[in-house]
């Protein structure tokens, strides 16, 4: 985990420039899934379809954004010894709000995400950002950080779910609207890819690809 933001040095740059820096970093350079290998449970569990991946991403961005803002606001009053429990309560509160809202307004998504919606609480990405970033930086930068990391997470989930849904069902649909259907593949799809082993294989191969391309340097 890196925290390149340094308030003393950054004093010379405008706030807007800092915001964009924090925002951009999460998308590629420190993509939470592919580079940092964080938040893997939801990444594998909900990527069997594009709908689920988008729903989960929206949930994670909401919780990440809200908890980053609150934790950043209360950062000066938060005692160091009670830090982690406070973060956990803040995060759990927003996850509960999210699941209540999903249950009331988008029940099909709530059903298909199941316990993985509640498990956003223990998503290492969110607690990690609270600990490493939001508890040390201003509200504006924390928003940039949350959005960047959130979009990076979304990007990873969308790539994985596209591969899995297209290979595993031979077609692609978003929120009930069928986008396309591959003639031969949809008649006898490679169901393997929407089953658990397919999830592991797709992510393993993607990680190897990024490493081969030189995006991932370490290890």
**What residue ranges bind other proteins (CB under 8 A)?**
37-38, 40-41, 44-45, 48, 74, 77-79, 81-82, 84-86, 88-90, 92-93, 95-97, 99-101, 103-105, 107, 111, 114-115, 118-119, 121-124, 127, 168-169, 189, 191, 194-201, 203-205, 207-209, 211-212, 219
Residues in Cβ contact with 105 at an 8 Å cutoff, skipping those fewer than 6 apart: none
Q: Which is nearer to other proteins, 115 or 177 (CB)?
A: 115
Please report how close the Cβ of residue 26 comes to other proteins at its closest, in angstroms.
19
Q: Distance between CA atoms of 121 and 111, rounded to whole angstroms?
A: 18
Residues in Cβ contact with 183 at an 8 Å cutoff, skipping those fewer than 6 apart: none
- List the helix and strand counts (H, then E) for the chain: 11, 2
Q: Which is nearer to other proteins, 71 or 143 (CB)?
A: 71
How far CA 142 is from CA of 70, 123, 139, 168, in Å, comes to 10, 18, 5, 38
Please report how close the Cβ of residue 84 comes to other proteins at its closest, in angstroms.
7
DSSP state of 177: E
Q: How many CA atoms lie within 13 A of 136 on its CB side?
A: 12
Q: Which is nearer to other proteins, 22 or 65 (CB)?
A: 65
Please report how close the Cβ of residue 203 comes to other proteins at its closest, in angstroms.
5
Please report how close the Cβ of residue 52 comes to other proteins at its closest, in angstroms.
13
Nearest to 215 by CA among 150, 167, 152: 152
Q: Which is nearer to other proteins, 23 or 94 (CB)?
A: 94
Please report how close the Cβ of residue 111 comes to other proteins at its closest, in angstroms.
8
- Cβ of 18: how many Cβ atoms within 10 Å? 19
Q: Which is nearer to other proteins, 148 or 198 (CB)?
A: 198
């Amino acid at each position: 985990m890196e925290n390149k933001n340094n308030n003393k040095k950054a004093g010379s740059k405008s706030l807007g420039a800092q915001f964009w820096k924090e925002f951009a970093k999460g998308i590629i350079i420190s993509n939470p899934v592919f580079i940092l290998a964080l938040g893997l449970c939801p990444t594998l569990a909900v990527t069997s379809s594009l709908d689920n991946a988008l729903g989960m991403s929206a949930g994670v961005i909401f919780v990440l954004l809200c908890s980053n803002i609150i934790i950043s606001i209360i950062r000066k009053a938060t005692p160091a010894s009670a830090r982690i429990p406070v973060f956990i309560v803040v995060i759990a509160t927003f996850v509960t709000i999210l699941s209540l809202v999903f249950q009331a307004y988008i029940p099909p998504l709530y059903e298909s995400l199941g316990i993985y919606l509640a498990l956003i609480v223990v998503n290492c990405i969110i607690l990690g950002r609270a600990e490493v970033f939001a508890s040390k930086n201003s509200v504006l930068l924390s928003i940039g950080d949350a959005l960047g990391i959130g979009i990076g997470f979304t990007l990873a989930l969308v790539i994985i779910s596209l591969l899995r849904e297209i290979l595993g069902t031979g077609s692609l649909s978003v929120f009930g609207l069928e986008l396309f259907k591959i003639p031969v593949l949809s008649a006898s799809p490679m169901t393997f890819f929407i089953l658990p082993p397919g999830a592991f294989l797709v992510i393993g191969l993607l990680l190897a690809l990024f490493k081969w391309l030189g995006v991932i340097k370490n290890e």
